[in-house]
Amino acid sequence: MEDLIGVYGILDLDHWPNAPFLLLDGGVEKRWKEPYAFHNTDRGTYSGWLMQYTLSGTGWFEKNGKTYEMRPGRGFLCQIPENSRYYLHPESEEPWIFLYFHFRGSAVSYAAERLFEKTGDVFYADADSEPIRTALQMHRKLKNGYRSEPYECGVFLYQFFCSLLREVQRPERKQTHFFVREAIRQMDTDCASVQGIEQLAEQSRVSFAHFTRCFREETGVSPMQYLQEARIRKAMTLLLNTGKSVEEIAAETGFSSGNYFGKVFRHHMGISPSAYRKERQNGAV
């Protein structure tokens, strides 16, 4: 853990006004037996967003009238300025070692809103999870003097947030059921053969309720939602790569009619299948 400790600043080589993500500085810090407390209502010229994730030890974070114990695996995201604070307890019996990124960007607010919707003020991510492993890999490079390529740090932040959102949205899976994997395979490869979720449950030789519950536990979505999305994905491929009619594509993707296919497609994509095909073909190079 000690070999991770170190901080760095980032020289803005992108010169991109209103960049979606812009990394300013970051590092891994160790705080112990010293005054360490920041009130985010007034940090002077220090502004933007801060992500801080505990690697070992314990810190504290206060926001919205609540106090959170920041044990290993817990992190917080805050906008500066805002009414929050983080600190090391003066009687802490061990060092607080944490990873942090300081950044800004036009897309950060949206990513932060999605994260807060899923986790509240504090998120949890395992130390071996994709976002934390990726973040530590980048930290090691930058701490050791790596000169990042233009836009590389912005891409890193985007990927970090995407993987973090996937991590916090992924339900905890204690076991994997073979019949769920098989149902997913069938929906992905031959969605037209699936007449309904009852059929999948019957093929799996389990009750409809048990099938639906296990499927949601392992995927985070209902089997009907997964089936509709699989059908739409295949329909998009057929619309863009064949000259088949909407009715033909509806039949090949398992929809009962072209009219129903059109309604579901519009719900997911915001436009009709014909408009989607025309729009993409007109924009093709």
Segment 32-57 shows an average pLDDT of 94
Q: What are phi and psi of 48, to 5 degrees?
A: 115, -145
CA nearest neighbour of 46 among 78, 71, 80: 80
The larger pLDDT score, comparing residue 221 to residue 175, is at: 221
End-to-end CA distance of the chain: 50
pLDDT digits (tens, 9 = 90+) for 182-198: 999 999 999 999 989 99
Set out the domains of the chain in order of their start, with CATH numbers: 2-169 (2.60.120.280), 178-282 (1.10.10.60)
The per-residue pLDDT for 285 is 40
Mean pLDDT score of the chain, rounded to an integer? Answer: 91
For residue 218, name the pLDDT band (cuts at 50, 70, 90).
confident
Burial class (CB within 10 angstroms; exposed 0-12, middle 13-18, buried 19+) of 215: buried
Q: Is residue 173's pLDDT more than 60?
A: no
DSSP 3-state of 126? coil
Sheet arrangement for strand 66-70: 37-39, 84-87, 59-63, 66-70
Residue 77 is given by DSSP the state: E
**How far, in Å, CA of 257 to CA of 172, rounded?**
37
pLDDT digits (tens, 9 = 90+) for 252-267: 999 989 999 999 999 9
**How far, in Å, CA of 236 to CA of 249, rounded?**
9
The per-residue pLDDT for 208 is 94
pTM over 0.75: no
The per-residue pLDDT for 279 is 83
The per-residue pLDDT for 52 is 97
Segment 235-244 shows an average pLDDT of 91
The per-residue pLDDT for 171 is 57
Q: Is residue 283's pLDDT more than 90?
A: no
Segment 103-130 shows an average pLDDT of 93
Burial class (CB within 10 angstroms; exposed 0-12, middle 13-18, buried 19+) of 109: exposed
Q: Which residues contact 146 (CB under 8 A, 6 or more apart)?
A: none
Q: Is residue 141's pLDDT more than 80?
A: yes
Q: Is residue 176's pLDDT more than 70?
A: no
Segment 144-173 shows an average pLDDT of 87
Segment 109-129 shows an average pLDDT of 93
Segment 63-70 shows an average pLDDT of 93
Q: Is residue 175's pLDDT more than 80?
A: no
Segment 234-243 shows an average pLDDT of 91
CA dihedral (46, 50, 53, 54) positive or negative: positive
The per-residue pLDDT for 284 is 47
